[in-house]
Amino acid sequence: MKVVNSRADFVSLRCGLLGRVGLVPTMGALHAGHAALLRTARQTCDSVVTTIFVNPTQFGPNEDLGRYPRTLEADLAACEDAGVDMVWAPGVDDVYPSGPDLQVHIDPGPLGSQLEGASRPGHFAGVLTVVAKLFQIVRPQLAFFGQKDYQQFCLIQRMVDDLDFGVLLVPVPTVREPDGLALSSRNRYLAPDERIAARALSQALFAGRDAAGGGDGAVLAAARAVLAGHPAVSVDYLELRGDALGPAPTQGAARLLVAARVGATRLIDNVEVIL
Ligand code: AMP
């Protein structure tokens, strides 16, 4: 496995990669969710590139950029285990040579200011712009993203379609702890009592999914009832949408999404619901 930091070193090594190149973009602090992306990429691609970059432009001024976990040694071991060919761990200057305050960026459109975007103004412009830059520099044929960040996946798919990026996006199902909590690099912020309370998110989603036979009202009522029993969980949104995040259909595939604060930690999760 090759590990490089500078953009120049990455670009020169990239030239030597053969066949179908798969990209797994990450912010590091890798866990079994990331490992599932890497494994899926390894199974489908000739060459696997992963990037480890905590992108400053997707963090709001009061978010956790400064304390976001950085665990490079362990991350490299996880990449090696997964059979990654090349890790690019650039610095901010490698990705933004003229500084992160770009004059031109990707506008995520109306969906970018809903759900996560309503609580995190500018977040998806930051995400889409850095993903566009990574696509340009890495030039992958395929790119792998987790369904844990469902809105992010939908917006990247939209960008690829609307702007003809020609990259095949592969969604990877959410990896969960045995008690249902979706793995996240931010779970390590949770105190022990908060970690227990955090189970309410997935429990609410599963209860909603199980109530789908009763229609959309029953889904939301079942999920709300679970969350209401956990005062330590402060809900930001709980919404049922269509599977591309338009309005929920009366029948067929829909998505139930939740965001909540547990103590100071903001968590998100979602599941498919068949109405
Ligand atoms: P991050 O490092 O948080 O930016 O995540 C990098 C990629 O890993 C994104 O595509 C995420 O959706 C994906 N990911 C994060 N957590 C999980 C999880 N629990 N299961 C599957 N994929 C995940």
Q: What is the pLDDT of residues 106-159, one digit of tens each?
A: 999 999 999 999 999 999 999 999 999 999 999 999 999 999 999 999 999 999
Which ranges of the chain does DSSP label H, i.e. alpha helix?
7-14, 32-44, 72-81, 92-95, 116-119, 123-138, 150-162, 192-197, 199-210, 216-228
Contact 205, 213 (CB under 8 A): no
Q: How far is CA 217 from CA 48, 76, 213, 248, 270, in A?
A: 43, 46, 10, 11, 17
pLDDT-derived band of residue 187, with 50, 70 and 90 as boundaries?
very high
103 DSSP assignment: S
Question: CA–CA separation, 6 vs 13, rounded Å?
Answer: 11
Question: CA–CA separation, 269 vs 39, rounded Å?
Answer: 22
Question: Which secondary structure element, helix H or strand E, spans residue 272, and what is its range?
Answer: strand 265-274
34 noted as active-site residue = yes
Task: Point out the ligand 1 atom lying closest to the alpha carbon of residue 144.
Answer: 10
Tell me what percent of the residues of the chain surpass a pLDDT of 70: 100
pLDDT-derived band of residue 16, with 50, 70 and 90 as boundaries?
very high
- In terms of Cα–Cα distance, which of 106, 159, 98 is closest to 130? 106
- Please list the residues that pair with 254 across neighbouring strands: 242, 273
167 DSSP assignment: -
Structure token pair of residue 242: 């269509």
Indicate if ligand 1 lies below 6 Å from the C-beta of 26.
Answer: yes
Question: Which secondary structure element, helix H or strand E, spans residue 273, and what is its range?
Answer: strand 265-274
The answer to pTM > 0.75 is: yes
Indicate if ligand 1 lies below 6 Å from the C-beta of 185.
Answer: yes
- The average pLDDT across 90-96 equals 98
Phi (first) and psi of residue 107, to 5 degrees = -90, 120
Name the amino acid, one letter, at 116: E
Question: CA–CA separation, 214 vs 77, rounded Å?
Answer: 47
pLDDT-derived band of residue 31, with 50, 70 and 90 as boundaries?
very high
Question: CA–CA separation, 232 vs 199, rounded Å?
Answer: 11
In the sheet where 2-4 sits, what is the strand order?
A: 2-4, 86-88, 47-52, 21-26, 142-146, 168-172
What is the model's pLDDT at position 35?
A: 98
pLDDT-derived band of residue 197, with 50, 70 and 90 as boundaries?
very high
The total number of residues shown for the chain amounts to 275
Question: CA–CA separation, 221 vs 202, rounded Å?
Answer: 15
Kindly give the distance from the C-alpha atom of residue 146 to the centroid of ligand 1, in angstroms, as a whole number: 5
| Gyration radius of the chain's alpha carbons | 19
- The average pLDDT across 85-91 equals 98
Closest Cα to atom 13 of ligand 1: 146
For residue range 218-248, what is the model confidence (pLDDT) as tens digits? 999 999 999 999 999 999 999 999 999 999 9
Indicate if ligand 1 lies below 6 Å from the C-beta of 50.
Answer: no
What is the model's pLDDT at position 75?
A: 98
Question: CA–CA separation, 37 vs 149, rounded Å?
Answer: 13
3-state secondary structure 20-63: CEEEEEECCCCCHHHHHHHHHHHHHCCEEEEEECCCHHHCCCCC
Indicate if ligand 1 lies below 6 Å from the C-beta of 126.
Answer: no
Question: CA–CA separation, 226 vs 134, rounded Å?
Answer: 40
What is the model's pLDDT at position 102?
A: 97
Task: Point out the ligand 1 atom lying closest to the alpha carbon of residue 173.
Answer: 21
